[in-house]
Amino acid sequence: MFGLNKFTLYTIFALLPGCLSAQPNPAAWPDELNMNYTPSSAFDQPGAFMSDMGAWFGFGVPSEDHPECYGAFTGPWLMNGQPGWISDGLIQFTLTDITGKTVIRPVGFEAHGFPGRLEQSMKFGNILMRSELVFASASTALTRVILINPGPESEKVIPVWKGRLFANTLKAKILDDGLRLTDKSGSRVISLRTTAGAEVETVNDSVFSLKNKPLTLTPKGFATYIVAVSSFNDSGEVSLGLSSVNEVLGNPDAVFDKNMVRWKGYLQAAFKNLKSSPDSAAAPGIIVKSIQTLTTNWRAKMGALTHDGIFPSSFYKGFYGFWAWDSWKQAAACAWFNPALAESQVRLMFSRQDTSGMVPDVIYADPSGDNFRNTKPPLSGWAVNEIYDATSDVAFVKEMLPALLRYHAWWFRYRDADQNGLCSWGSADNTLEAAKWESGMDNAARFDHAELVPSGDHAWCMTQESPDLNGYLYAEKLYLARLCEAAGRNDDAATLRTEAGKLRTLINEVLWDKTEGFYADRYAGQGRFIGVAGTEGWIPLWAGVPDSLQASSTANIITDPTLFHTLMPFPTLAVRAAGFAPDKGYWRGPVWLDQAGFALAGLRRYGISTTADELLHQLLTAQNGITEKGTPLFENYNPLTTQGQNAPHFSWSAAHLILMLMQR
């Protein structure tokens, strides 16, 4: 810091609209996620940024140790095509003296990331400045700079937006409609627009400026400057997009007001559904962090994508797609604060359902990359049920039911080789790799000796039947029955409930290991269990399959410190199992918050709520950063050290934290 009194800045800016107030005002939640980051090149990994409204680009705030970037928002980081940073600060607000020759050095820099809004404040001589960035749409981010002269004398300055690009990214050129940044192919177009009167200049194709008219700021006077950064997928989108930008520039304050109202709505909707627990004090902060995570990972429809969806993480390039069971989990949580996005996420995945009823494992903006080698665990009915609970939207239920029922029937047609009523994980290409992917637990120890058998046309499945798959399918039958009743299809509902009863009996007869007191994979048609205990064994508890004695036994397994009650509870493989690998073992030991959430929900279903409260408290208060300001939510966690692992800012971790705190 440079010595400026922070209180003075915030006291003055509190006189302006949209300033600090009590929760659920977004301004009451600074820095739940750390947005401070400055890349050194286009190829840096994304350290931190904010995106909103489905934009395929994002911005952060500059690190305090990079004063050369003060006044600019970091980025943007682009996520369409080959992702990367195009600048460390694309458009930087500066002030010169009235001659234009001397740049006024800013002091007192302070920067924060709020839900849906980035902010910087500093002082240029006697002038106070606050800069804010929000998204006006999926294609446009808007920066508003407010200057205040608190002193008794007029101040004369020249405001200048200075721009720069990393080499070999995009090139700047001036057109009739303003400054445009493009790549060689025209597949990326960035437009920069500001309010009328700015003089646009380019030094070269990587350095440019937007110079405003000289300003005389009277005592106690205010001045506002606006710049819009818009990203388009190709030149064909530009003319229509710029028309929308012109509307935004015509009333920029309305954009900031709408942003505040929208984010306040998100927080209000989620906060009102929180349940009282030992972690009630920490819960709102976790909810804010989770909603921010999901919203930054939100991508709008583009190209062949007919609906909006959510990436697993915008911070890992391998996750720039839409996975099926990720989508169901994300939709289930979004239902409670952004139901329109939840419904869109479901529609997106079913838009690529094939004629057999299969939903692909993952889909992309370019459909040629879709993975139909396998699907993912069947939780779509659960997701739609959560949406229905949150919205009472019967029209959406009726819209989705035919696709949901086709997908449910697909499992029993293509993943039950011996037609005994129990399904197995499988693939469409006769590979174990894809069959393991289908389970979602790619390298789980229970699959180390798996084999495949034919199970239909272009279908193979494992020779072992799994309690998680069949537990999910049992739950799906009941969720689909409820949705059928909501849609007036009572005969279908009755059939599904009858089938559910039969499946429950089969799971308890075949997949309950009486010796271990836990559900486990079993070789089809044999009496022999796999002999590996993992989180798959408590999915039937979540689904409501066990009787009271089986539920009690399952709870005892979950709370056994030699099995699953670790420092951070719920490892995906029992501690004493061969192959237990808590340090980045992926599905061979780390804690995944979806599996933890299913365990907690299962315990609550059977009235074992005190234990659930204790385990949730232990999960949240471990030294894993979940409750800590600024720390991202990770893909998984080491159960022994509690450290976050793999992809940061992970969507289903955020989704399940929301559901856990709502006790869904």
pLDDT surpassing 80 at residue 484: yes
Cβ 580 vs Cβ 641: under 8 Å = no
Cβ 465 vs Cβ 521: under 8 Å = yes
Q: What is the mean pLDDT of residues 182-189?
A: 79
pLDDT at 386: 98
pLDDT at 18: 39
CA distance 266 to 21: 16
As given in the structure block, the two tokens for residue 590 are 């780390």
Q: What is the mean pLDDT of residues 260-286?
A: 95
In the chain, the number of structural domains is 2
Secondary structure (3-state) at 67 = helix
Cβ 633 vs Cβ 293: under 8 Å = yes
Instruction: Look at residue 607 and tell me if it is in a domain.
Output: no
> What CATH number did the domain enclosing 145 receive?
2.70.98.50
As given in the structure block, the two tokens for residue 654 are 């955020």
Instruction: Look at residue 563 and tell me if it is in a domain.
Output: no
CA distance 253 to 16: 12
pLDDT at 189: 86
Which DSSP category does 369 fall into? G
Where residue 488 falls (left for φ over 0; alpha for ψ -120 to 50; beta otherwise) is: left
Which DSSP category does 221 fall into? -
Question: For residue 173, how many other CB atoms are within 10 A of its CB?
Answer: 12
pLDDT at 274: 95
CA distance 146 to 254: 15
Per-residue pLDDT tens for 352-379?
A: 999 999 999 999 999 999 999 999 999 9
Instruction: Look at residue 398 and tell me if it is in a domain.
Output: no
Burial level of 127, CB count in 10 A (0-12/13-18/19+)?
Answer: buried
Cβ 538 vs Cβ 453: under 8 Å = no
Q: Which is it for strands 106-114 and 117-124: parallel, antiparallel or unpaired?
A: antiparallel
Cβ 391 vs Cβ 384: under 8 Å = no
pLDDT surpassing 60 at residue 12: no
Cβ 269 vs Cβ 281: under 8 Å = no
Q: Among 221, 237, 253, which residue terminates a domain?
A: 237
pLDDT at 272: 95
pLDDT at 294: 98
State phi, psi for 33 to the nearest 5 degrees.
-120, 135
pLDDT surpassing 90 at residue 540: yes
Q: What is the mean pLDDT of residues 9-36?
A: 68
Using pLDDT thresholds of 50, 70 and 90, give the confidence band for residue 563: very high
Instruction: Look at residue 254 and tell me if it is in a domain.
Output: no
pLDDT at 9: 44
Tracing tokens 């409670």 back to the chain, one arrives at 336
Task: Determine the residue type at 212.
Answer: N
pLDDT surpassing 70 at residue 7: no
Q: Among 178, 212, 237, which residue terminates a domain?
A: 237
Q: What is the mean pLDDT of residues 500-505?
A: 98
Average pLDDT, the chain: 94
Instruction: Look at residue 635 and tell me if it is in a domain.
Output: no
Using pLDDT thresholds of 50, 70 and 90, give the confidence band for residue 14: very low
The pTM for the full model equals 0.95
Per-residue pLDDT tens for 143-161?
A: 999 999 999 999 999 999 9
pLDDT surpassing 80 at residue 240: no
pLDDT at 196: 75
Q: Among 506, 532, 558, which residue terminates a domain?
A: 532
pLDDT at 195: 81
Burial level of 473, CB count in 10 A (0-12/13-18/19+)?
Answer: buried
- The angle subtended at Cα 375 by Cα 383 and Cα 481, nearest 5°, is 40
pLDDT surpassing 90 at residue 15: no
Using pLDDT thresholds of 50, 70 and 90, give the confidence band for residue 411: very high
Burial 537-565 (b: 16+ CB within 10 A, else e): bbbbbbbbbbeeebbebbbebbbeeebbb
Question: For residue 185, how many other CB atoms are within 10 A of its CB?
Answer: 8
Q: What is the mean pLDDT of residues 219-230?
A: 95
Cis bond upstream, residue 24 (ω within 30): yes
Instruction: Look at residue 181 and tell me if it is in a domain.
Output: yes
442: containing domain: 415-532
pLDDT at 69: 97
pLDDT surpassing 70 at residue 467: yes
As given in the structure block, the two tokens for residue 149 are 């002269």
Element (H, E) at 391: helix 380-391
Per-residue pLDDT tens for 622-664?
A: 999 999 999 999 999 999 999 999 999 999 999 999 999 999 9
Q: Which is it for strands 74-78 and 84-85: parallel, antiparallel or unpaired?
A: antiparallel
pLDDT surpassing 70 at residue 4: no
Query: According to DSSP H, which parts of 584-627 are helical?
Result: 593-605, 609-621
pLDDT at 178: 80
pLDDT at 526: 87
Instruction: Look at residue 322 and tell me if it is in a domain.
Output: no
What separation, in Å, do the N-terminal and C-terminal C-alpha atoms of the chain show? 44
Element (H, E) at 246: helix 238-250
Which DSSP category does 556 fall into? H
Q: Which of 158-172, 236-250, 552-566 has the lowest mean pLDDT?
A: 236-250
Which DSSP category does 197 fall into? T
Q: Which of 184-198, 297-311, 523-537, 633-647 has the lowest mean pLDDT?
A: 184-198
All residues at 6 or more sequence positions from 559 whose CB lies less than 8 Å from its CB, including other chains: 565, 611, 615
**Quick one: angle between helices 283-296 and 252-271, nearest 10?**
130
CA distance 611 to 592: 19
Q: Which of 171-185, 262-276, 389-403 has the lowest mean pLDDT?
A: 171-185
Question: For residue 143, how many other CB atoms are within 10 A of its CB?
Answer: 25
CA distance 376 to 154: 65
Instruction: Look at residue 631 and tell me if it is in a domain.
Output: no
Per-residue pLDDT tens for 417-429?
A: 999 999 999 999 9
CA distance 112 to 388: 36
Q: What is the dihedral of CA 436, 438, 595, 470, to 10 degrees?
A: -100
Question: What share of the chain has pLDDT > 70, as a percent?
Answer: 96
CA distance 544 to 527: 24
CA distance 265 to 253: 18
State phi, psi for 95 to the nearest 5 degrees.
-125, 140
pLDDT at 80: 86
CA distance 143 to 370: 36
74-78 sheet: strands from edge to edge? 57-60, 74-78, 84-85
Nearest partner of 231 among 109, 374, 135, 351, judged by Cα:
135
Nearest partner of 570 among 560, 581, 578, 579, judged by Cα:
560
Question: For residue 213, how many other CB atoms are within 10 A of its CB?
Answer: 9
Where residue 53 falls (left for φ over 0; alpha for ψ -120 to 50; beta otherwise) is: left
Question: For residue 337, how many other CB atoms are within 10 A of its CB?
Answer: 25
Per-residue pLDDT tens for 289-303?
A: 999 999 999 999 998
